[in-house]
Amino acid sequence: MKKIWKIYPEDPIRGPLSKKLNIDPLIVQILLNRGIRGEEEIRSFLDINEFQLRDPFLLPDMEKGVKRVLEAIKAHEKILIYGDYDVDGITSVSVLILGLKRLGALLAYHIPNRFEEGYGLNKQILIKAYQKGVKLVITVDCGITSVEEVELAKELGIDVVIIDHHEQSENLPRAISVIDPKRKDSGYGFRELAGVGVAYKFIQALYDYIKKEESTEELLDLVALGTIADIVPYVDENRYFVKKGLEVINRLERPAIRALISVSNLLGAKIDEEKVSFNIAPRINAAGRISSASPAVKMFLLENYGEVLRYAKLINNFNFERREIENAIFKQALLRIEENNLSEESVIILSGVGWSIGVIGIVASRLARMFQRPVILFSVGGNIAQGSGRSVPGISLFDLLVNMKDLLISFGGHEQAVGLKLESTHLPEFRERLNEEFLKLYPQKNIKEIINIDALITPDDLRDEFLEQLGLLSPFGIGNPYPLFLLSDIYLSNFSFLKNGTKNLKITFEVNNKEWRGVGYDFGHIEDKMMSIAQKVDLVFGIKSSFEASSPFIYIEDLKIKDDTYTILFKEENN
């Protein structure tokens, strides 16, 4: 796919701000590109300790939920915490249990089995909870669309407090409390918290209400795990949770964190958002994708390292199994896309009989990144097709599905990830209508890949001071993407192509008397053009060396040899 390079022009205020704040001009430019322009805003962004968390009681129904939970604790009522089977759900349940145990709550928890019970509140589990004397159910990372299930709970005499972050449907459940920043009437000011972020805000509110001075900072490792895994924007409170949570993770105080790092072969490494995304989170997720997520929750709640390590190894084995299933489905899906010329569809939709419903979401994510467009995969069993979709920045899958409800048995989620179910006979109509809906909602959307480049630089810009300060901008993700730079007319001292499924490019070059190394994934399309050592290229890259000036390492976003790509300068003003 031809990629379009767009370069931010140098902002005229970057020089004065750089001198005033004593920050490298390129760092200032990156912040300006992100819309961070005021002096205090920049200071708060660079020093996370300057950031002020929002008042949790600004979330809708927070006080009602806090009061009901405190009543249950005082009356020694049985409380059931009901979660979800992904990392966000698992960490949300763990945060609530650990936070409530300190207050003497009588707790049980349930994570639904993806294959037997499906997503969200389950009526049969509510009936079993009633039979066991449960008086209060707290849902976390689910519940916002469980209108019928909450009605059943009311009939059974069970109160429900909902703690969620997904989009609401037309009607809110008639629960005691529905705490969700995405409620249509929410005045919280920040909509993009992960489920674990809302769970943490609930514990914060609970402790504030009873004036409990005990710190909740040690829970931030779990909040960071769930926030990173749920692919929410790294801005506002999410940035705080990830930045501070990674600090807690790297202290290795929680046995489960230490065990997960051990089975991920990362002991001794600094854990950043990328290592969580690609090494740690997939292992936690694998439990719910292959079997039951309960072992993951148990792992986070236990203190004995030997027991914790046993669960971590079990989860690690699930992850190996998940990889095999994922790669098999990925190859099938890729072949179908090529055979049916689907790569230019606005939304790529595929279905397979017997595809694992626990794995199709992660395959959809890989395909969405590869083709730079939303992807929905369905697992067909009998007359039911159960789907999981992933999107790309700027396109809301949830909004696309809103006007498709007449075809759907159920759906839920948010902009970047959805789950849905429909009758398999409706799949052809669903595919046609969803692509039509895309053109209605995004008529001007160019889904060819656009690379936003923060600055055109020279070798002199890559000073040690700049490399050291670059780490202050982390964590990187949606809302705060990795800074990308364009370096022109660089001579490569060496290069090679590694065959590992797709062809990955390794390069070395010299800048400022230092040898820089880099890697680019899936660059087989330029292999024939890379004819000789000392090849002269233009590089678009991000710096991935843990920001240590002594060992610069880059990842290649794109590379130009002749006229393979073209550049468009941004003409908009940065304001």
Which stretches of 1-120 are assigned E, i.e. beta strand? 4-7, 78-82, 106-110
Is the per-residue pLDDT at 209 higher than 90? yes
142 neighbors 121 (Cβ within 8 angstroms): yes
**In this predicted model, what pLDDT tens digit does every residue of 2-39 receive, in sequence order?**
678 899 999 999 999 999 999 999 999 999 999 998 89
88 and 147 in a common domain: yes
Q: What is the pLDDT of residues 100-127, one digit of tens each?
A: 999 999 999 999 988 788 788 999 999 9
Clarify whether residues 416 and 455 are in a common domain: no
Domain match, 238 and 124 both: yes
**Using 50, 70 and 90 to split pLDDT, how confident is the model at 162?**
very high
- Predicted confidence at residue 546, as pLDDT, reads 46
Q: Are residues 171 and 294 in the same domain?
A: no
pLDDT tier for residue 549 given thresholds of 50, 70 and 90? very low
Residue whose C-alpha is closest to residue 39's, from 56, 63, 55, 22: 22
| CATH number reported for the structural domain that contains residue 361 in this entry | 3.10.310.30
pLDDT at site 97? 97
Q: How many residues does the chain have?
A: 575
What SS3 class is residue 2? coil
For 298, other C-beta atoms within 10 Å of its C-beta total 18
463 shares a domain with 536: yes
- Are 15 and 21 a contacting pair, CB within 8 Å? no
User: Mutual orientation of helices 147-155 and 123-131 as an angle, nearest 10°?
Assistant: 20
Between 574 and 448, whose confidence is greater? 448
Last residue of a domain, one of 249, 266, 287: 249
User: 220 with 151, same domain?
Assistant: yes
95 and 192 co-located in one domain: yes
| Dist CA 267 CA 264 (whole Å) | 8
Helix (H, G, I), strand (E, B) or coil at 346: coil
Residue 330 domain-assigned? no
Residues 275 and 396 reside in one and the same domain: no
CA 503 to CA 63: how far, in whole Å? 55
Q: State the number of CA atoms in the 13 A half-sphere of 35 facing the CB.
A: 6
Percent of the chain scored above 90 by pLDDT? 65
Residue 570: pLDDT above 70? no
Q: What's the structural domain count of the chain?
A: 4
Residue 575 located in a structural domain: no
Torsion of CA 444, 450, 454, 460, to 10 degrees: -150
Q: Are residues 199 and 73 in the same domain?
A: yes
Q: What is the mean pLDDT of residues 281-303?
A: 92
User: Is residue 547's pLDDT more than 50?
Assistant: no
Contacts of 270 (CB under 8 A, 6+ apart): 250, 546
Answer yes or no: do 463 and 550 share one domain. yes
Note the pLDDT of residue 50.
87
Instruction: Assess whether pLDDT exceeds 50 at residue 271.
Output: yes
- Strand, helix or coil at 444? coil
Q: Is 113 exposed, middle or buried (0-12, 13-18, 19+ CB in 10 A)?
A: middle
Q: Which H helix or E strand runs over 562?
A: none
Q: In DSSP terms, which residues pair with 519 in a beta bridge?
A: 506, 555
Question: Cβ distance 355 to 361 under 8 Å?
Answer: no
For the segment 265-283, the average pLDDT, to the nearest whole number, is 93
Amino acid 446: pLDDT:
58
Q: Which two tokens stand for residue 479?
A: 């809302």
CA distance 411 to 167: 11
483 and 501 both lie in a single domain: yes
| Positive or negative: CA dihedral 472, 477, 479, 482 | positive
The values of phi and psi at residue 300, to 5°, are -75, -25
The 10 Å Cβ neighbour count of residue 35 is: 10
Angle at 126 between CA 122 and CA 128, to 5 degrees: 120
**Of 392, 419, 441, which residue sits at a domain end?**
441
Q: What's the order of all strands across the beta sheet hosting 177-179?
A: 106-110, 78-82, 134-140, 159-163, 177-179
- Say if residue 563's pLDDT is above 80: no
74: in domain: yes
What's the mean pLDDT in 476-495?
A: 88
* CATH code of 137's domain: 3.90.1640.30
Contacts of residue 544, Cβ cutoff 8 Å, sequence gap at least 6: 274, 482, 553, 554, 555
Segment 74-78 long-range contacts (CB within 8 Å, at least 24 positions apart): 75/135, 76/106, 77/106, 77/135, 77/136, 78/106, 78/108, 78/132, 78/133, 78/134, 78/135, 78/136
Q: Is 42 helix (H, G, I), strand (E, B) or coil?
A: helix
Residue 30 inside a domain? The answer is yes
Residue 329 resides in a domain = no
CA–CA distance, 463 with 482 (Å, rounded to integer): 18
Q: Cβ distance 183 to 168 under 8 Å?
A: yes
- Confidence band of 322 (pLDDT split at 50, 70, 90): very high
Q: Give the model's pLDDT for residue 185.
A: 92
For the chain, the average pLDDT equals 89
Mean pLDDT of 360-384: 91
Q: Is residue 334 part of a domain?
A: no
Range of the domain at 265: 254-322
Please identify, among 408, 441, 474, the residue that sits at the C-terminal boundary of a domain.
441
Range with the poorest average pLDDT among 356-365, 470-479, 505-514, 540-549: 540-549
Check residues 573 and 357 and name the one with the higher pLDDT. Answer: 357
Residue appearing with tokens 């949606």: 478
Structure tokens, 444: 């001007």
- Pair of tokens at residue 121: 């509140």
How far apart (Å, rounded) are the C-alpha atoms in residues 270 and 32?
28
Confirm if 502 and 521 have CB atoms less than 8 A apart.
yes
Distance CA 408, CA 456 (A): 47
Residue type at position 17: L
Q: How confident is the model at residue 443 (pLDDT cuts 50, 70, 90)?
A: confident
Is residue 448 scored above 50 in pLDDT? yes
**Distance in angstroms (rounded) separating the CA atoms of residues 235 and 301:** 29
- Please indicate, yes or no, if residue 332 is contained in any of the structural domains: no
Q: Above 50 in pLDDT, residue 335?
A: yes
Strand order in the sheet with 4-7: 450-453, 4-7, 566-569
Read off the pLDDT band of 572 (50, 70, 90).
very low
Q: Quickly state the pLDDT bin for 498 (edges 50, 70, 90).
A: confident
**Across 480-493, average pLDDT:** 90
Report yes or no on 331 lying in a domain. Answer: no
CA-wise closest residue to 468 among 551, 554, 555, 556: 551
Q: How far apart are CA 191 and CA 236, in angstroms?
A: 10
Q: Are residues 122 and 186 in the same domain?
A: yes
For the residues of 101-166, what is the DSSP string, one character each?
Answer: HTTT-EEEEE---TTTT-SS--HHHHHHHHHTTEEEEEEES--TT-HHHHHHHHHTT-EEEEE--S
